[in-house]
Amino acid sequence: MLDLSSLKVDIEGSRILNGISLTVGAGELVCLVGRNGAGKTTTFRSIMGYRRALSGGITFDGADLTRLPTWQIAQAGIGFSPEESEVYADLTVKENIELSTWTRPSGRPADVRIEEAYTVFPKLRQYLARGGAQLSGGERKMVSIARALTLDPKLLLLDEPFEGLSPAIIPLIAEGVASIRAMGKGVLIAESNVHHIPDYADRIYVLERGEVMFSGTLAQAHRDRNVMRVIAGQIETAS
């Protein structure tokens, strides 16, 4: 489904991604793990076309995405929920969630896609008329993911879906992600806290200074002391 091959990205003359490669298949949950500044968000923004690759490739279902505009990448079937959630404050929860069906009218009927989002996050049914500005951080995160889901994507990119959330909300998000994966959709999560990674993740990639330093299962990562120390910020790497 998604294949990043030797991707290099510079920002203002500085190398941010230095040849990273990863794959996400249909129905897989893959996690990109790394400290703040490791390059996780740049990876997501490059996939979505906000950042252009210096070299390397980004393919999705066999199609080259590296020079496509963001709207065409979304039309191809990739949904994105950014770290900031970016819920529209002037719209209700209902309007925020339905927004993607207005911008991508193709695919399955809008009402089917909307119902699917509420099945993933049933708690949102309680807040349909509530404005975006009245939501808690966890509620905004659920709305952001639900809105990406109503785009009817084959793949969802979730940037720090658990960051800054209360312990009571984290299990709801994790259950929602499990439901999305069970639908056969691919899910790629960026996460800075390895302890937030769901134990049902198929594979993780550990990113350090724009390079993949580890790929494997979560259990394998926990057994690798060097990997765990890097994630925790206990190793000084060369500038």
Q: Is residue 129 part of a domain?
A: no
Q: Is residue 210 part of a domain?
A: yes
CB atoms within 10 A of CB 14: 8
- How does pLDDT run across 90-106, given as a tens digit for each residue? 999 999 999 888 877 66
Phi and psi, residue 158, nearest 5° = -120, 110
Distance separating alpha carbons of residues 116 and 132, to the nearest angstrom: 20
Q: Is residue 45 part of a domain?
A: yes
Give the H/E segment covering residue 95: helix 93-103
- Does the pTM surpass 0.95? The reply is no
Query: The tokens of 197 are what?
Result: 């990674």
pLDDT of res. 238: 36
Q: Is residue 53 part of a domain?
A: yes
Q: Is residue 146 part of a domain?
A: no
Domain count, the chain: 1
Q: Is residue 139 part of a domain?
A: no
The whole domain housing 186 covers 2-87+154-231
CATH at residue 41: 3.40.50.300
Q: Is residue 218 part of a domain?
A: yes
Helix (H, G, I), strand (E, B) or coil at 233: coil
- How does pLDDT run across 44-76, given as a tens digit for each residue? 999 999 999 999 999 999 999 999 999 999 989
Q: Is residue 136 part of a domain?
A: no
- How does pLDDT run across 218-239, given as a tens digit for each residue? 899 888 888 888 877 644 443 3
